[in-house]
């Protein structure tokens, strides 16, 4: 199944102009949107990762982090500041960040960005090559995935697309994470949610769901954290 969209946005066809106008008004008055502008983040999504980090002690100075579905770059911005000794957006970085997305992303200081489809084996090979160039032979501490597909509105089809991206992120993480590494993915409540949680529990020692305060309550969006790799016998 091909990847149809990456990044923090999840696209659906709007049913009316009134819905678009209402969403724009809500977005303009959203406190996290206002905070993002003040703090210099490209999107309010930065605060979702911030809350996950603060809740689960996700990041540690010196970490090697891979950011999947990174565009427009808010999560990479947060990672970059979090791994900076003084929280700066530029300058010295205590750690390494490699980001990937199907869409262009404006440069972020010290973040190694790859444009390409995560489902494409050639892009995955490029990602692994870049990771090895950044830190030869080193396994990853944290993988974060804000990837989401374009949605058709057909529940069964959309659930399959979401599950496919998460399964690929999990497969990638099982091959690249340290034994005590952490994977964070975005997923959605609804069809297939329970199966994805079960899949995480099959492969990861600790599995925790989280709905950050900055994730809109009306949205089915939620996140799942898995920590520690289980070594499954054949």
Q: Which residues are catalytic?
A: 186
Q: 98 CB contacts (<8 Å, ≥6 apart)?
A: 65, 66, 67, 111, 112, 113, 114, 127, 130, 131, 134
Q: Would you state the structure tokens that stand for residue 4, as one six-digit string?
A: 């149809």
C-alpha distances in Å from residue 191, one per residue of 155, 159, 186, 203, 207? 7, 6, 15, 21, 19
d(CA 116, CA 126): 9
Phi-psi region of 68 (alpha: psi -120 to 50; beta: other; left: phi over 0): beta
Number of Cβ atoms within 10 Å of the Cβ of 124: 19
């Amino acid at each position: 199944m091909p990847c149809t969209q990456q990044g923090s946005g999840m696209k659906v066809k709007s049913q009316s102009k009134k819905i678009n106008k209402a969403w724009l008004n809500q977005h303009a008055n959203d406190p996290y949107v206002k905070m993002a502008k003040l703090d210099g983040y490209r999107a309010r999504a930065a605060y979702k990762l911030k809350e996950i980090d603060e809740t689960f002690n996700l990041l540690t100075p010196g970490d090697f982090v891979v950011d999947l579905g990174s565009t427009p770059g808010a999560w990479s911005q947060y990672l970059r500041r979090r791994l900076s000794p003084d929280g700066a957006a530029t300058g010295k970085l205590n750690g390494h960040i490699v980001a990937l997305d199907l869409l262009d992303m404006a440069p972020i200081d010290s973040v190694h960005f790859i444009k390409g489809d995560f489902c494409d084996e050639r892009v995955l090979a490029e990602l692994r090559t870049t990771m090895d160039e950044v830190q030869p032979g080193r396994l990853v501490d944290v993988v974060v995935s804000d990837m989401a597909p374009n949605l058709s509105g057909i529940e069964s089809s959309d659930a399959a697309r979401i599950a496919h991206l998460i399964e690929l992120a999990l497969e990638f993480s099982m091959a690249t994470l340290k034994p005590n590494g952490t994977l964070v993915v975005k997923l959605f409540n609804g069809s297939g949610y329970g199966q994805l949680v079960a899949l995480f529990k099959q492969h990861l020692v600790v599995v925790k769901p989280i709905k950050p305060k900055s994730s809109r309550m009306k949205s089915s969006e939620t996140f799942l954290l898995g920590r520690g790799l289980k070594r499954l016998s054949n």
